[in-house]
Amino acid sequence: MVVTIYHNPRCSKSRQTLALLEARGIEPRVVEYLKTPPDRATIAALLRKLGLPASELVRRKEPEFAALGLGAPGTTEDMLIDAMAAHPRLMERPVVVVGRKARLGRPPEAVLDLLQ
C-alpha cells in the first residue's frame, strides 16, 4: 500500500497525522507541498479523491485568500484551484492519499479509514 501525505512540517495537525501513520508502521511518501507545490491537475485530482469541492480545501484565514478576493461572490471552483496552485499556502493540510481515496487529516484520526 502506497501512502502519500501532503505535509507542512510547521503545522501541528500535519505533524500529528504523520506521527499517527508512522506509529502504525507506515512510512508514507512525504510531499512538503510548500517546497514542491502541486500543480493544478494534481489539486483537481486530490479534490476528486477527497470527494470535496475546492471551497472545502482552501484555507480562508491565509492573507492570500483576502488579497486575491477569493471570498467574493462569484468565485468559482476553478478560481480556487488556480489560486491554490499559485499559492500553495492556501491549501488545507495535511492530505493523505491511498490509491483512489484521500482524507484531510483534520482531525488526524480522520485518515485511519484509508488504512483498512
The three-class DSSP label of residue 14 is helix
Distances (CA, A) of 85 to 22, 40, 52, 107, 112: 28, 5, 16, 24, 27
- As a whole number of angstroms, the distance between CA 17 and CA 4 comes to 12
Task: Note if 73 is an active site residue.
Answer: no
Q: Which of 2, 6, 9, 11 is catalytic?
A: 11
Catalytic residues: 11
